[in-house]
Amino acid sequence: MSDPATEGLVSEDLTAPVHPRPPGWVRRLYDWVLHWADTPYGLQALAVLALVESSVFPIPPDPLLIALCLGATGGVFRFAAAATGASVLGGILGYGIGALVWLSVSGFFFDVIPGVTPEAFATVQGYYDRWGFWAVFAAGLTPVPYKVFTISAGVFGINFPIFVLASVLSRGLRFFLVAGLIHLYGESIRTFIDRYFGLLTWVFGLLLISGFLLIRVVL
């Protein structure tokens, strides 16, 4: 559950949480994000983080979501709901950036925001041309930088209702999957989620896609 800025680095202590520990300023930003789990404002911080991560922020909301769910005595799904709603709103904001002001701000995004590059945009355009709805769905579900897809969807004029639908389904599945696993298994599932989150979301995503295809065939 990582962004390119946080990918590939894990704790050496296998008994400890294995959230990515990126170096330098991103590491400090990551630690700052996690500290909100120990404050009374964790839910609000999660919503803001999910909102801005969909367009500009480099740290994904998943580590904070996990920390909040583990610290909750109940109601973990309200954290997933908050992350989903805010992330979709952030995706709409990213779409608006791409559709309305991209020519004015593209230099900033390419120079400053990790994962947002001209090469990534060219690749994503190919995905849109070939897969459409499923390109957005996969981006919202997996560790692929969601912000690249939200902004480029606006740049390339992807159908807006389809974009929103794909975002709701994929982000909801992603965050509710995390909350559901923690609700069922608690602390014992934390290391497993960190290590195999990408695989889990792909499996559940494929199951969901298969369900859609089955309904289409039957009907």
pLDDT digit string (tens) for the chain, length 219 residues: 444 444 443 333 433 444 444 456 666 777 788 788 888 899 999 999 999 988 888 788 888 888 888 887 577 899 999 999 999 999 999 999 999 999 999 888 888 877 788 888 888 888 888 888 888 887 777 666 788 889 999 999 999 999 999 999 889 988 998 888 888 887 776 676 666 655 555 565 555 555 444 434 433
Q: Please report whether residue 16 resides in a domain.
A: no
Q: Please report whether residue 167 resides in a domain.
A: yes
Q: Please report whether residue 13 resides in a domain.
A: no
Specify the pLDDT at position 151: 92
Structure tokens at 183: 């609700």
Structure tokens at 68: 């909040």
Q: How many domains is the chain partitioned into structurally?
A: 1
Under a CB-based contact definition with an 8 Å cutoff, are residues 137 and 205 in contact? yes
Under a CB-based contact definition with an 8 Å cutoff, are residues 191 and 162 in contact? no
Q: Please report whether residue 18 resides in a domain.
A: no
**Domain extent at residue 195:** 24-218
Structure tokens at 49: 């983080």
pTM: 0.74
Q: How far apart are CA 214 and CA 40, in angstroms?
A: 45
Q: Please report whether residue 83 resides in a domain.
A: yes
